[in-house]
Homo-oligomer: A and B are copies of this chain.
Amino acid sequence: MSLDLSIDDLEDLARGAAFLGTGGGGDPHIGRLVAGEAFARHGAPRILAPADLPDDALVCSIAGFGAPTVQVEKLIRGDEVMAALDRLEAHLGRRIDALLPAEIGGGNSLLPLAAGAMRGLPVIDGDGMGRAFPELQMNSFSLHGIRATPLVVIDEYHNSAVINAVTDKVAEDMTRALAIQMGLRVFIACFPMDGARMKAAVVPGTLSAALAVGRAIRQGRRGGDPVGSLVDCLRTLPPYGGGAILFDGKITDLERRTADGFASGLARVAALDGAGEAEVLFQNENLVARIGDRVLAIVPDLICIVDRDTGEPIPTQSLRYGQRIRIVAVPAPPQLRSDAALRVMGPVAFGLDHPYLPMRG
């Protein structure tokens, strides 16, 4: 079943992708604007189910890379994204046949769509995690031995580097060092792979899922319960099949820092009925929600903060003191829950002292 996307879907898609981005993955307003302009000029790209890409086709990801706090002002030109793809093609010595989101997020789901429109390439309905993660090696492709490199990193002035590294973690460290030097406003073209390997590793259907989530929030607003509508949608939505409201409250404290190339911090949330206080730790994305030492949800499960009344997802960089919010959790796709996956993107990968507590679907 293939998705037929139009410019009118972009608002829902950006909203849903921002939700599934669990606080990261880029700004949805900018993502929607960039994709909207590209769709208006060039038409929407064709969306392919993973199975529909030929096994020998070459597909790669294109993404914004850095700290969300800095990227808010960016994503506009698009020629740097084209240049990144040009340089990756030159390095590989062949043309890229299709694009694939590296992660789901308000920016990073929409950017491949914009690039697909500009370049006349189809975009795969799927990604490498079914959520967003802060580091390059945290995804299903790397777990399947598909390498992030050769990777092109480029800034708005077209300063660029083609990185080859012995592991994706080293590639992450090199790309992060360059991104910090280049002002944390860069794009990457990465994970070049053939169709056969993509099919074995992809988390499928996540553009469709993001669109469904965004629609459920919007439609729920008519009935006055967008968060209820969202949770209903999530319960049967592949690849998640679950969703629950963990906490309902008001943000009473925020600590943030942009350090080592990440936007990290924590938000404290007081229950509206006065019964307790939760906190959410984040590193670009939300990592854990807990009350004291009791974990409510933890990576790789999705921890999403939405406006309590409108259901609008709130990226970490847009959290503000006094906001009334709900914390919604969603089970991670099965690919992210294996022992091998948990070593790379579970609590231990973020230095969290809690064991993984899988949320039930």
Contact = CB atoms under 8 A, between A and B. Distances in A.
Interface of A: 87, 91, 157-166, 170, 173-174, 176-178, 180-182
Contact of A177 (B160, B164, B166, B177): B177
A301 to B, nearest CB: 31
A174 B161 contact: yes
Contact of A165 (B159, B173, B176): B159
Contacts of A162: 91, 161-162
16 contacts: A91-B162, A159-B164, A159-B165, A159-B170, A160-B163, A160-B164, A160-B165, A161-B161, A161-B162, A161-B178, A162-B162, A174-B181, A177-B177, A177-B180, A177-B181, A178-B178
Nearest to A153: B161
Contacts of A163: 159-161
Nearest to A179: B177
A170 B180 CA distance: 13
B182 A174 contact: yes
A166 B158 contact: yes
Contacts of A182: 174
A298 to B, nearest CB: 29
